[in-house]
Amino acid sequence: MTGEISTRVRLRYSKTGRIRYTSQRDMARAWERALRRAHLPIAYSEGFSPRPLLSFSLALPTGCESSAEYIDLRFREGEEGPTGVRVAEASGSSGADEVARLLSDLVPPGIEIESAAALDGAGGSLQEQVTSCSWSVEVTQMSTAQLTERVDYLLAAATVPIERERKGRRVTDDLRPSILRLEVVGPGEGPGVIRLDADLATKPRGVRPGELLGGISPQVRLVRARRTAQWIDDADGRQEPLTRDGRLPTSVPSLAAERS
């Protein structure tokens, strides 16, 4: 196989099934193994302990599924991998599609690569660009009427204090500014399960589904949670880092270069 790929490629993928219990660190190792097995000329950081230059979007809480995860890959410009793929600064989407094809059979079960796109060389960190996430959360231990009442109460509150751990210490934060949208949708999958949809801000720090439920009521219990979208705010409104049909945002804020 021969062809050209860009120095930077973004992949969109889903994470479902048992692999949702895999940590972010172990997921990074799984991607590194897949890249080695695909014989792609991935770029490495400099220093005493070089690491592959992979940039992930916001970390997914362990135990949660997602239909909107992202990874940026950086390749060594001018080099050619054993598969005959040559890395070039400018490349069309076919090169990104070829990267996705090579990796699709090498990533763990439960990971499905949905789209790919070549990036220019000036993009910033995905973690810095994403400003909010959409979630589908299924819960139990409350009736629809009780849950609706609690959600309405939370949305009307000026502050919603919750306790959470930060750097090994228990701290109190106000949850309310992070809740951009929250609504009871209806029955979920299974008896007594109710589905909530939420849009949660990621700055100044992200909100986990369990923390959201803690703000609603200590009575409610999480059944499952799925991240359905990650969003970038730019001059053209809210956009995804990469759509399922391979479209990138039309513009993004100027950000610092990606961290190694």
> What are the helix (H) ranges across the chain?
24-37, 93-104, 126-129, 144-156, 209-216
| Overall average pLDDT of the 120-145 stretch | 88
CB atoms within 10 A of CB 92: 12
Judge whether 196 and 183 are in contact, CB under 8 Å.
yes
Say which range, 119-123, 157-161, 192-196, 201-205, has the weakest mean pLDDT: 119-123
* Whole-number pLDDT of residue 49: 83
Query: Over the stretch 162-208, which tens digit does the pLDDT of each residue have?
Result: 888 777 788 889 999 999 999 999 999 999 999 999 999 998 888 99
| The dihedral sign for the CA sequence 173, 175, 176, 178 | positive
Domains in the chain: boundaries? 3-128, 129-233
Query: Over the stretch 60-91, which tens digit does the pLDDT of each residue have?
Result: 999 999 999 999 998 887 655 555 555 555 44
3-state secondary structure at position 221? strand
Architecture in CATH of 129-233: 2-Layer Sandwich (3.30)
* Whole-number pLDDT of residue 170: 85
The CATH class of the 3-128 domain is alpha beta
| Overall average pLDDT of the 23-39 stretch | 92
Judge whether 75 and 237 are in contact, CB under 8 Å.
no
The residue ranking higher by pLDDT, 162 or 140, is: 140
* Whole-number pLDDT of residue 109: 96
| The dihedral sign for the CA sequence 133, 139, 28, 170 | positive
